[in-house]
Amino acid sequence: MTIPKNHKPALGVCYYPEHWPEAMWGDDATRMVAMGLSWVRIGEFAWSRIEPQPSEFRWDWLDRAIQTLGDAGLKIIMSTPTATPPRWMVDRYPDMVAWDRHGRPRGFGSRRHYDFSHAEYREECVRITTILGERYGRNPHVHAWQLDNEYGCHDTTLSYSPVARAAFQDWLRDKYKSVAALNDRWGNVFWSMDYQRFDQIELPNLTVTEPNPAHAMDFRRFASSQVVAFNAAQEAALRPLTDAPLLHNYMGRVTDFDHFAVGANLDIATWDSYPLGFLEDRSDRDVDFKRDHRRCGDPDFQAFHHDLYRAVGKGRWWVMEQQPGPVNWAPHNPEPAPGMVRLWALEAIAHGAEVVCFFRWRQAPFAQEQNHAGLLRPDGKLSEGGDEVAALANELAGLPNLSIKAARTAIVFDYASQWAWEVQPQDAQFDYFRLVYDLYCGLRRAGHSVDILPPTTTDFGDRDRIFIPGLFAWPQALRAAVYGFSGEVVMGPRTGSRTDDFKFPMTLPPGLAGLKVTAVETLRADAHVTLQDGGMIQIWRERIESTWDVVEADLDGRSVRLSNGHLIYWAGWPDAAALDRWLGGTASDARHRETVSGATSIDYMTASFSVSP
Amino acid sequence: MTIPKNHKPALGVCYYPEHWPEAMWGDDATRMVAMGLSWVRIGEFAWSRIEPQPSEFRWDWLDRAIQTLGDAGLKIIMSTPTATPPRWMVDRYPDMVAWDRHGRPRGFGSRRHYDFSHAEYREECVRITTILGERYGRNPHVHAWQLDNEYGCHDTTLSYSPVARAAFQDWLRDKYKSVAALNDRWGNVFWSMDYQRFDQIELPNLTVTEPNPAHAMDFRRFASSQVVAFNAAQEAALRPLTDAPLLHNYMGRVTDFDHFAVGANLDIATWDSYPLGFLEDRSDRDVDFKRDHRRCGDPDFQAFHHDLYRAVGKGRWWVMEQQPGPVNWAPHNPEPAPGMVRLWALEAIAHGAEVVCFFRWRQAPFAQEQNHAGLLRPDGKLSEGGDEVAALANELAGLPNLSIKAARTAIVFDYASQWAWEVQPQDAQFDYFRLVYDLYCGLRRAGHSVDILPPTTTDFGDRDRIFIPGLFAWPQALRAAVYGFSGEVVMGPRTGSRTDDFKFPMTLPPGLAGLKVTAVETLRADAHVTLQDGGMIQIWRERIESTWDVVEADLDGRSVRLSNGHLIYWAGWPDAAALDRWLGGTASDARHRETVSGATSIDYMTASFSVSP
Amino acid sequence: MTIPKNHKPALGVCYYPEHWPEAMWGDDATRMVAMGLSWVRIGEFAWSRIEPQPSEFRWDWLDRAIQTLGDAGLKIIMSTPTATPPRWMVDRYPDMVAWDRHGRPRGFGSRRHYDFSHAEYREECVRITTILGERYGRNPHVHAWQLDNEYGCHDTTLSYSPVARAAFQDWLRDKYKSVAALNDRWGNVFWSMDYQRFDQIELPNLTVTEPNPAHAMDFRRFASSQVVAFNAAQEAALRPLTDAPLLHNYMGRVTDFDHFAVGANLDIATWDSYPLGFLEDRSDRDVDFKRDHRRCGDPDFQAFHHDLYRAVGKGRWWVMEQQPGPVNWAPHNPEPAPGMVRLWALEAIAHGAEVVCFFRWRQAPFAQEQNHAGLLRPDGKLSEGGDEVAALANELAGLPNLSIKAARTAIVFDYASQWAWEVQPQDAQFDYFRLVYDLYCGLRRAGHSVDILPPTTTDFGDRDRIFIPGLFAWPQALRAAVYGFSGEVVMGPRTGSRTDDFKFPMTLPPGLAGLKVTAVETLRADAHVTLQDGGMIQIWRERIESTWDVVEADLDGRSVRLSNGHLIYWAGWPDAAALDRWLGGTASDARHRETVSGATSIDYMTASFSVSP
């Protein structure tokens, strides 16, 4: 994953020529370039204007838009428009829409109204991708291609439609070959859940009580595989038609498909960084934190995703949509503090972003996102965010080329573990993302830069320390890498606590020699377990039998931390105080030190960014 | 709207002869008259007893009931029974029921089980209305007619049925003529939402994410128009058959149809005043307020609706159902404090009510409302509320005739703005009713009587001050009235912030010369913006560019209040402290001063009512 | 109900031979016996392994399992497997599944996926029960039979399926004979709800607003009757085929069917005692209580159910499933404090349990309950709970035979009252179970042992005091027993407040000579009514007219407690402080004194159990 990099950070913007009179395009393009933007993304929602009726194409406007933008000096990111199938598509394939977990079809009238398992729609996507690739794949102004947009947004990965059910049954048939094998590996004997034929297997929604976790887990794997296959089909169609890099634009805290697997076929990972919206809408932070950070966002939330998508992009990653002012979709939508738009972009660059694009050029005066700020106000004047971006572009022009290097510390992040512990949380508070994110924040407080690694990692390189918290089931190669590593490996809680078939290991977790988790208890939010030297165990607590060295015990005398050579095991979920102690304290001078050469300090609360001498 | 009035307030009661043995009717009627009641409403739920089988009528009991009540000296409000279609009607038209937003038909077994868009049911209503009008339209005992009952109650304005969808498509066809015009005016290009034909347009529920707000807003307008048309059909049928005034009985805080438009065809507006039930069930007040007022209700809540329905009734309004004791439907159902039943009635009379009817005569011993108090207990004795009503009737007998006059202060209330900001709130706390109601309460604290005006107002008369907060889109005539007015007009926040097509004005809101709202932010409940001179801006805050005079700025130096001659603009939502300061302080001696001649003071907490000398 | 008893308490365990390789059975059985267990329950989820295809049976494994367990010296509780119909059954009868209140079929994939009203499935259950009875009814190792498992668990009593609707219509036809009678007794005139034919009557879900309470109440009675009939069908099939006692295994706080009616046909009642899971999941206790008791559970919750099921079993009752460690299904799943597993079992024995079985033998390594502790860990070692059980078995061996005797105090518990007040709560906080349970806890604090009596009781015997709180409607025989009793009878609040037809008594509640409840109010949680001598009235408060003696009045002078000879009436719901005062104070030395001879004191917080000399 450590790809040598030497890049000059650049800025860009999302633009929708189809939203504006053609007479405005030229001036818009000129102003973009004048502001210091070099990239422009177009086309991801334009299907109804490209192909207003089946096989009836309108190329003229798009040809001219590309020409106008390119002629002004902008590099174009062209998008496949498959996130918004036109209305006639839904008429043609009424069963193409996804069904929600209540068994209701999700209608036309917004976006992402398709089921990843729908074979004919997937073919339609290949068709439009091919046609677009043929027309613009070698266009000199097109420097990158985005496939679809924001897979999984609006809870669209999981569908409970008849189409999905049939595809799931096929997927099971392919995986298990015989229904007897499936019954055995799922443990269907448990409640007389044995099947006689694959076509009897329903999707795991609307059961009387919880379905078999192995059933639910396979459905989650299946659903993720459908996203991967959907993306791969477009990639395969487009690849021969262009030399430009292919990318997908991901969201924040979407964990219901395996981004590493989608990213495997692509050249760059990009994501949508909405610091204020995400703080209100997708954060586990408490109300005090949310109030105090309401105008700057949670610094670590962006940093975590920057590091995650750097891994998904195998070193190459961008921000495709950055919030330039208030958004329209969170419960509360404040303005960023002065300087934050600049700072967010610099934070991304410090984490290795090659490009930071802002969403969007001009605030849209119609439809769903009228209250979403742009770089321009509806009346065409620069917004506050626009002012900051213009200044930032000047500032960036003076930066040297940047490189990223591997961090000394890494965390293994495993999408399947998120699914597994959603399927079987054992405590209402248990969430894999939160477990990993708590750790990430502790590492940042301690002054560490962090790499995220996929569970397919086979070699940890020359790093100092690897963390593998909460891993559902061990890939053999990962466990081999753990044993073969020269640095420190910190595991637990809950690591290795199931087999790949979602069974409890008869020899007890975590699957490490000399250590057994003999029992688990989960803890109310008002009943943590206090530690003598400070901090507490929260949510999850394990009982250990072991030949390892006890590093720390709780007041009940039960082991909390254990070690065995380079292996360390944490037998509970530490709160922030315990975590800071375990990680070596907080490093106030190193807060938000970044991986990229040059950037040494970012202070969100004062919107300051320092470059080391 | 200022209609000269000179009336003698009267009392009445709701009665259901079909619920009681005929032997009881005579005694009941005699006791009503002896208690000082002069009006009795009957018939609104009696369809199954009037027409037990299709076209098979039972007039005998109703003829005798009317005769008995009328002979006793009571004036009868006869009702059309269309709020409770009989079971055989649903057998005949299984598709007549409304569907909820989850797509589920709402079954028979309670009331209001019809879809306003169902053409055949509307015809059935015209039929029964005509038959009733022919029979009783000239009956000397029938002094008023109520059409249906409580439109919109139980969330019945909005239906997502196939019948509603077809009617909505017709409505759109009629409004836009061509689908191209609809695509353009809705901005369907935004997410490839263009339609090719009107019959492709679904209702805006169950979309993947939020639908186009223009789509949702048109659905809200359509739904309101169906209520108007439903009512108009009954009005048209009945008008030629009677000289008695026609009325509808509205609910409290039902805002999903345009009451002004329904009221336009009618002679009187009446409403249901349930002070304790509404405090528990429909109030935004905080828990301390609710606890302290649990036995008296929120005085302003009734006052606001009295003033609103005075406007809806073009000056003529009644309370048709007043709570006489505990009700059965709120989360908690306490007894009124002693004296409150009297005081509520006097408050209504002080706001100009011609008649106050109590719901109901005798507590019902069966079905849904067994725990709803009446003037009589089930055993026939007077309840506590009944005692108060008897005393009140004596008290009223001594009052002179009363007149209402226009208030010096008025607020424009616009149902469409409620719909618009439900469709696009931008903050989870934003609610148009609450914005208006907060202002209303501030004006009451400051000692002002208030008129409510519809958005169709073209002339503010000789009033002192008009408030137009949160108006969705300017009717041209209203804007002309603003400019032509000699008094003060206070606008904002959020006033004039969209076009009628639910577009953002390219020239920026609020559509007043010399003033632009360049950006908006919304505020967490724990992050208000403090004002130097007291109070705070909450929920909604605007950024202003303007040539107007700055009356007040916040600590960030941003304009909060601005003026330009007689025009004033508020760039945020003031809390109560700021509002009191802006409105000139609270007027303790004038609290609840009423519009009617004579009444000067009502004190809810002590249940006292004073008449000025 | 007072059955002379003289039994030696025994221990047992739930075991699933079909979950384990046959090679393990022998060793498991040997270890069970060595640990001191004498009973083993098997078979309740094994249908798919007994009859993997329709009419294709696999008896070999079950024969051998029974032989192995029996030969080791264990007494077997054989179960009918009808709680988990195999997949092929659902293929055969797709309409056999229940529908939830939203109108959605509840799918295959977990358990209890059947509608109690489905006639063909009921026949299939009779078929498999008969076949099992024929094979094992006289097997010398089979000492008891369990029919189905946990009726009502996962909210499965109420079904809104077409099958249930048809059965409900038949039930109504049978009860009312004519639809005119139904209209009259339901009071359908109220909102024109009259029916013309029984087949028009829908189930009372998805109505526009609340359905007629008489309609809803009959649906609840119908649903309960279906459980009774379902159970009776199995009982009738099995009774001729075995001499062993028949039992059903009930859950905690499941109140939606009449357990007394189900139990009438059976010989023993057993239940599932999960003290920690129930505290988190089914308790009304406040957060402080839950935190403090998180490792021991709510002592009274188990005690109440022990006493309830002693009544349901007409004196004979067991615990069939006791929690031996953390469970998997509550929001938080802590470990029991050391000693609690022993103490819970002793508490049950002190209440008269003949047998306490633990769920389960070995923690299951697959399917839904992987995190549910067993007596053995997955690796075969004893868990902490297993250790305690082994010690307990030794301890029990030294106990003498035990008898139960009638308690001096009893509470009438009426399932129909629970349904009635769910149908018509009048306050969001009102819950019949909570009303009874509050009283039960007060009696326990006061040091009393308590018997629970069914509403069919006709004679209270020589007890000291009977409580009948919140009774929906008086059975004539119960009222006669009240008047004929020589001890004290405490009634109210809300007792006798409806007729059997869910009508309000025209002569006013509670149906006791000389006392009338003239009005009721309900109270917010922050607005109790303080009593002069301590404590408060909460939630429910009545206004009384009476010739009885006033024992206590509140500060408003309204009667709170009244007496008339041996009859006492409580006109409100007392909080704990008032209740303690009314019941004669708390008896610290007598806390958790048990009914059984020998046991005098159980202290949950210290896990101690004392036997009197």
CB contact under 8 A, A187 and C290: no
* Count of domains observed in chain A: 2
CATH of the domain at A413: 3.40.50.880
Residue B588 has pLDDT above 90, yes or no: no
Nearest Cα to Cα of residue C542 among B334, B297, B295 = B334
B497 touches chain A (CB under 8 A): no
Separation CA C214–CA C195 (nearest Å): 14
Q: Is A488 a catalytic residue?
A: no
Instruction: Select from B85, B88, B291 the Cβ nearest to the Cβ of C526.
Output: B291
pLDDT at B439 over 60: yes
Cβ <8 Å between A208 and C46: no
Q: What tokens were used for C553?
A: 């009045």
Residues of C in contact with A192 (CB under 8 A): 45-49, 81, 84-86, 111
- Rounded to 10 degrees, the C-alpha dihedral A260/A213/C19/C321 comes to 140
pLDDT(B592) > 60: no
Task: Compare all CA atoms of chain A with the CA of B208 and give the residue at the minimum distance.
Answer: A106
Query: How close B457 gets to chain A, by Cα (Å)?
Result: 28
Counting residues of chain A whose pLDDT is more than 70, the rounded percentage is 95
Residues B505 and B377 in one domain: no
Nearest to A228 by CA among A261, A250, A267: A261
Q: Would the CB atoms of C87 and A507 count as touching at under 8 Å? A: no
Q: B552 and B424 in one domain?
A: yes
Per-residue tokens: C450: 């308590």
Residue A458 sits in which domain range?
409-583
- Read off φ and ψ for residue A530, nearest 5 degrees: -75, 145
- Scanning B195-224 for CB atoms below 8 A from A yields 195-196, 200, 202, 204-215
Instruction: Report the C-alpha gap between B333 and A294 in whole angstroms.
Output: 40
Which of A195, A205, A521 has its CB closest to that of C326? A521
If asked whether residues C454 and C502 sit together in one domain, one would say yes
Q: Is residue A349 part of a domain?
A: yes
State whether A388 and A260 are in the same domain.
yes
**Residues A457 and A374 grouped into a single domain:** no
Residues A468, A320, single domain; the answer is: no
Output the CA angle B414-B420-B422, nearest 5 degrees: 110
As annotated, the active-site residues of B are 150, 321
For residue C212, give the nearest of B154, B334, B367 by CB distance: B367
Both A393 and A413 in a single domain?
A: no
Based on the domain organization, do A415 and A384 belong to the same domain? no
Q: What is the pLDDT of residue A131?
A: 98
Query: Is B191 inside a domain boundary?
Result: no
| Beta-carbon contacts of residue A288 (< 8 Å; ≥ 6 apart) | none
**Cβ(C325)–Cβ(C338) below 8 Å:** no
Question: Which residues 275-304 of chain A have a CB within 8 Å of chain B?
Answer: 280, 287, 290-291, 294
Q: Which residue of C has its CA nearest to A428?
A: C331
Residues of C within 8 A of B290 (CB-CB) are 524
Q: Which of the residues C14, C87, C381, C383 would you substitute to probe the A interface, choosing the one with the greatest number of A C-beta atoms within 10 Å?
A: C87
Report the residue of chain C nearest B15, measured CA to CA.
Answer: C190
> Average of pLDDT values for B508-534?
97
Q: Which of A110, A333, A367 sits opposite B207 (nearest CB)?
A: A110
**End-to-end alpha carbon distance in chain B:** 28
Residue C234: burial class (beta carbons within 10 Å; 0-12, 13-18, 19+): buried
Assigned domain for C138 exists: yes
Whether B188 contacts chain A with CB within 8 A:
yes
Check residue C403 and give its pLDDT: 84
CB contact (8 A) between residue A519 and residue C291:
no
Report in angstroms the alpha-carbon separations of C51 from A70, A426, B611, C60.
71, 33, 86, 12
Vertex C393: Cα angle to C390 and C397 (nearest 5): 150
The yes-or-no verdict on residue B562 having pLDDT over 50 is: yes
| CA–CA gap between residue A316 and residue A309 (Å, rounded) | 8
| pLDDT above 50 for A593 | no
pLDDT in tens, C51-73: 999 999 999 999 999 999 999 99
Which chains pack against B, by 3+ Cβ pairs within 8 A? A, C
Q: Which of A81, A332, A364 sits opposite B427 (nearest CB)?
A: A332
CATH number at residue A21: 3.20.20.80
- Residue A295 CA to residue A326 CA, distance in Å, equals 9
pLDDT at A610 (0 to 100): 62
The full DSSP string for A144-198 is EEE-SS-TTTTT-S---SHHHHHHHHHHHHHHHSSHHHHHHHHTGGGGT---SSG
Counting one residue from A and one from C, how many pairs have CB atoms under 8 Å apart?
170
> Residue C524 and residue B332: Cβ atoms within 8 Å?
yes
**Over residues B592-607, mean pLDDT:** 53
Question: Is the CB of C426 inside 8 Å of chain B's CB atoms?
Answer: yes
Ranges A488-502, B76-90, B394-408, B568-582: which has the least confidence: B394-408
Q: Average pLDDT, stretch C277-297? A: 96
Q: Measured between CB atoms, does A86 come within 8 Å of chain B?
A: yes
Average confidence (pLDDT) over C405-423 = 96
Q: Does A149 carry a binding-site annotation?
A: yes
Residues A383 and A413 in one domain: no
C111 marked as part of a ligand binding site:
yes
The residue from A124, A150, A235, A542 that is catalytic is: A150
Residue A285 maps to a domain: yes
- The annotation status of A111 as a binding-site residue, yes or no, is yes
Mean pLDDT of all residues belonging to chain B: 95
**Do residues C308 and C299 make contact, with C-beta atoms less than 8 angstroms apart?**
no
Q: Which residues pair with B145 in a beta bridge?
A: B78, B246
pLDDT at C450 over 80: yes
A571 in any annotated domain: yes
Task: Point out the residue among A212, A523, A527 whose CB comes nearest to the CB of C109.
Answer: A212
What is the structure's pLDDT at A602?
Answer: 63
pLDDT of residue B491: 98
Query: Is the Cβ pair B192, A81 closer than 8 Å?
Result: yes
Does C96 map to a domain?
yes
Q: How is chain B split among helix, strand and coil, in percent rounded to 5? A: 35, 20, 45
- State whether A363 and A434 are in the same domain: no
- Helix, strand, coil shares of chain C as percentages rounded to 5? 35, 20, 45
> Does A164 fall in a domain?
no
Residue A525 C-alpha, separation from nearest chain C C-alpha, in angstroms: 9
- Is residue C324 within 8 angstroms of chain B, CB to CB? no
Contact between residue C155 and residue C251 where contact means Cβ atoms under 8 Å apart: no
Give percent of chain B with pLDDT exceeding 90.
92
| Radius of gyration, CA atoms only, chain C | 25
Residue-level pLDDT at B302: 96
Do the Cβ atoms of B102 and A98 come within 8 Å? no
Smallest CA–CA distance, residue B217 to chain A, in Å, is 11
C23 touches chain B (CB under 8 A): no
User: Chain B residue closest to A380 (CA)?
Assistant: B506
Contacts of B39 (CB under 8 A, 6+ apart): B10, B11, B12, B13, B74, B75, B76, B77, B143, B144, B355, B357
Q: Does A558 touch chain C (CB under 8 A)?
A: no
Q: What angle do CA B423, B426, B431 make, to 5 degrees?
A: 65
Residues 6+ apart with CB under 8 A from C6: C401, C402, C403
Q: Tell me the pLDDT tens digit for each residue of C355-394.
A: 999 999 999 999 999 999 999 999 999 999 999 999 999 9
Q: What would the pLDDT profile of C240-256 be if each residue is shown by its tens digit?
A: 999 999 999 999 999 99
- Whether the per-residue pLDDT at C272 is higher than 90: the answer is yes
- Model confidence at C589: pLDDT above 90: no
Looking at the domain assignment, is residue C32 inside a domain?
A: yes
Rounded CA gap, A42 and A79, in Å?
Answer: 6
Same domain for C414 and C487, yes or no, is yes
With bands split at pLDDT 50, 70 and 90, how would you rate the model's confidence at A2?
Answer: very low
Catalytic residue of the set A321, A347, A354, A594: A321
Phi, psi dihedral angles at C609 (to 5 degrees): -140, 120
- Can you tell me the mean pLDDT for C20-27? 98
A285 and A417 part of one domain: no
C321 as an active site residue: the answer is yes
Closest of B491, C47, B343, C292 to residue A191, by C-alpha: C47
| Contact by Cβ (8 Å): A604, A303 | no
